[in-house]
Chain A
Amino acid sequence: MNATEETRKPRVGLFVTCLVDLFRPVVGFSAVKLIEAAGCEVDVPMTQTCCGQPAYNSGDRADTRAIAENTIRAFEGYDYVVAPSGSCAGMLKKHYPGLFRGDPTWEKRTEAFAAKVHELVSFLADEMKVTSVAARHDGSVTYHDSCSGLRELGISAQPRALLASVEGLTMREMRDPDVCCGFGGTFCVKYPDISNAIVEKKTETIREAGAETLLAGDLGCLMNMAGKLSRQGSGVEARHVAEVLAGMTDEPPIGKGGR
């Protein structure tokens, strides 16, 4: 191994996720900042779209496969593939391989790809061994464990550890932070009344926690909870955890105007 290879920075392909791309680009820029601060080089392939969950969870395997092939092609050249979402990272890492099982050309390729995929916060903590971030956030926060990140990827301690290193931040845990918020992708529009009953219980525990800001690692869940909090007239603000870890909280919180 020569000197340049030894010092070459790991190359990370950022899988932006469609919700971040469309609704909250600041999460993407926060992710870039955090990954770069961890000593990596970040690239954003322009041919990425969505991870395919809407099709996958609706039983449409053919479209899911086509979308997965597109993602794999776009990202397989990087050292790591990182997404600021537990559910999209879970899709790429845990579910893509099952789509191609037994396929002579794609099976190995998909497995190699899946091995490189990480959710943002666990990538920083577990892979890059980041133990603290250089950020300041004056205020109290509460953290919701989004389901896929928690149960498919084991993300729970990492965000809390990194948040503990943010200056000025106070953590106020909610009751049952590991209970689903009722989003569930297409579930929330297919079964709006049930989804609503679930998110109502969630926002109750969020308000009880008494924190100023709600954080989570998945924009889908955050838009669901923020949308409900807003409808209830609550003053609790919602942000993606990456925004606070990167110290990029100048933008208004999710669902709040004022620019």
Chain B
Amino acid sequence: MQVTSPAFKQNARGALADVQLQKALGNVRAGFIDKRRKAMDALPEFDRLRDEAKAIKDHALASLDLYLEAYETKVKASGGHVHWAATAEDARGIILDICRAVGARTVTKGKSMITEEIELNDFLEGNGIRPVETDLGEYIIQLRGEHPSHIIAPAVHLNKEQVEEDFRRVHDHLPVARDLSEPESLLAEARRVLRAQYFEADVGITGANFLVAETGTSMIVTNEGNGDLTQVLPRVHVVVASIEKIVPTLNDAAQILRVLARSATGQDMSVYTTLSTGPRQEGDPDGPEEYHVVLLDNGRSSMLGTEFQDMLRCIRCGACMNHCPVYHTVGGHAYGWVYPGPMGAVLTPSLIGVDKSGHLPNASTFCGRCEAVCPMRIPLPRMMRHWREREFERGLNPATQRWGLGFWAFFARRPSLYRLGASIGIPLLSLFGRRKGSFGTLPLAGGWTKHRDLPSPQGRTFLQQWRDRDTLRQEART
């Protein structure tokens, strides 16, 4: 996927002018927030559960190497294979080899952001293998040749009328007069169309919400059950997961599950929680003949031990973007790579470099709502600020910004000059603005006055007035 993060501002302008998108984004505000709120209210111990979930991940990250090795041993013991992929390219190569070894023509896919990160679909297609997305949202955007705009609701940027249009265009073998006006009818149609694909596929690829070291199990949560069919019906099941998905025990995974769906969609649990451990065993009624796990690093291990380590606790619930005022106005695609919203603003610079994605950690008001709702208590604004510090150190921010800041800091560091400058500039400004009370335009303030008036200063500064008052008082005393 082409990185368009450097063009964030243009992307954002396009998004603001997109009427369909703006309508769809209204659903994010209305849908997710209230549902999460209700789920919180129904569970008084939620904050304690968050602390526990955080502690579990912190512990796992502190001994990540040990847990990964333990996990590998268990997967092998259950008859599965583990592949280590340092980069996206490595991961793609490994997956292609697995597909080629079984002569795969079609692969079905469960929802996975990691396969977006490694750009798997384009790669497979380029190698003559047809990937079929089975999650409804992913299926829709695959039809449209788009990328997810949200990590748990990939097609949230679309309205149902747009989806109906796509279905009528692509499913042209179905009766024209059918009713597709409701989300349910759209889901039913996608199911019918997809059912056949499950049986055609030679390989099923899923992501993982958790990798359990204790048992060598991978776990996914879905609401459509498509993940189950993806991993059970084909001959080969490939799990693609990043290394930080590891948790020590099944109990730990169950603990984190208690905060995951509640934070994401406000559900107590997702509809399906699916565990898979190795290939089909003697006596199993179903399951794949081969079971592979591709463990992706792709820059994550270099976050360990830095101020960005906390980001590796992320369980991809999406709550941060659901509550983000910037995401609400520009949507996910504007961020220009795989991960949008506050979590993307922190993670993207770690994975593709801050020189390409510098806008992301800057385009935040630091309102702090993301951190306030994050079930894993990830200090997202703090880490965005760390990225700004790294940019500043490397001189990556625009020259005008640096000069402006330098000019301002010169005065802020020198109290007497600050007072002197203010005592001259402010009364002057006030003189011009006094009658109307505000400015519609003002030199050097175009960023502000483009969209709003600038309230004029009242008159002399507070410090000037206070000093006069003090002098008067002292004179009165003597």
Contact = CB atoms under 8 A, between A and B. Distances in A.
Interface of A: 16, 18, 20-26, 28-29, 44, 46-50, 52, 54-61, 63, 66-67, 70, 74, 147-148, 151-152, 178-180, 182-185, 187-199, 201, 223-224, 226-228, 230-231, 251-252, 254-259
Interface of B: 9, 12-13, 16, 325-326, 328-330, 362-369, 371-372, 385, 387-393, 397, 401, 405, 408-409, 411-416, 418-419, 422, 426, 433-438, 440, 447-448, 450-463, 465-467
A29 B461 CA distance: 11
A88 to B, nearest CB: 12
Contact of A198 (B326, B422, B457): B326
A58 B325 CA distance: 20
A34 B390 CA distance: 42
Contacts of B328: 198, 201
Nearest to B413: A66
Contacts of B13: 193
Contacts of B391: 59
A257 B434 contact: yes
Given A54-B405, A257-B434, A25 B368 contact: no
B463 A21 contact: yes
A248 B254 CA distance: 56
B365 A182 contact: yes
Contact of B365 (A48, A147, A226, A227): A147
23 contacts: A21-B463, A22-B422, A22-B426, A22-B461, A23-B426, A26-B458, A49-B415, A50-B412, A54-B405, A63-B413, A151-B372, A179-B369, A184-B365, A187-B364, A190-B447, A193-B12, A197-B330, A227-B453, A230-B455, A231-B453, A256-B437, A257-B437, A258-B435
A114 B453 CA distance: 35
B29 to A, nearest CB: 9
Given A28-B462, A180-B365, A194-B12, A60 B455 contact: no
B460 A60 contact: no
B367 A180 contact: yes
Contacts of B326: 194, 198
Given A25-B462, A49-B418, A52-B412, A226 B426 contact: no
B367 A147 contact: yes
Nearest to A187: B365
Contacts of B413: 49, 63, 66-67, 70
Given A25-B461, A59-B393, A147-B366, A46 B412 contact: no
A230 B455 CA distance: 9
Contacts of B440: 231
Contacts of B454: 223, 227, 255
9 residue pairs, one from A and one from B, having the closest CB atoms: A184-B365, A189-B447, A257-B437, A59-B392, A59-B388, A227-B452, A255-B455, A180-B367, A25-B462
Given A16-B462, A59-B388, A223 B455 contact: yes
Contacts of B458: 23-26, 251
Contact of B437 (A21, A48, A252): A252
B12 A57 contact: no
A21 B460 CA distance: 9
B463 A46 contact: yes
Given A48-B415, A188-B447, A58 B365 contact: no
Given A63-B413, A194-B330, A254-B455, A57 B462 contact: no
B453 A255 contact: yes
Given A63-B413, A191-B9, 15 more contacts: A21-B463, A46-B467, A57-B388, A58-B397, A148-B368, A152-B368, A182-B365, A184-B366, A187-B365, A201-B329, A223-B454, A226-B455, A227-B438, A228-B453, A257-B456
B365 A25 contact: no
Contacts of A58: 388, 392, 397, 401, 405
Contact of B438 (A21, A24, A197, A255): A255
A27 B258 CA distance: 46
Contact of A257 (B367, B401, B418, B435): B435
A198 B362 contact: no
A196 B364 CA distance: 13
A192 B457 contact: no
Contacts of B463: 16, 21, 44, 46, 48
A230 B438 contact: yes
A227 B436 CA distance: 12
A56 B326 CA distance: 21
A44 B461 CA distance: 13
B431 to A, nearest CB: 11
Given A44-B466, A70-B415, A189-B447, A147 B452 contact: no
Given A22-B426, A22-B461, A147-B366, A28 B418 contact: no
Nearest to A45: B415
A55 B401 contact: no
A57 B455 contact: no
Contact of A60 (B362, B368, B392, B448): B392
Contacts of B330: 194, 197
Contact of A21 (B12, B363, B397, B461): B461
A54 B451 CA distance: 21
B366 A23 contact: no
B338 to A, nearest CB: 21
A152 B372 CA distance: 10
A16 B460 CA distance: 14
A165 to B, nearest CB: 26
Contacts of A44: 462-463, 466
A228 B461 CA distance: 24
Contact of A151 (B367, B392, B416): B367
Given A20-B462, A23-B455, A59-B388, A147 B369 contact: yes
Contacts of B453: 226-228, 230-231, 255
A197 B437 contact: no
B307 to A, nearest CB: 11
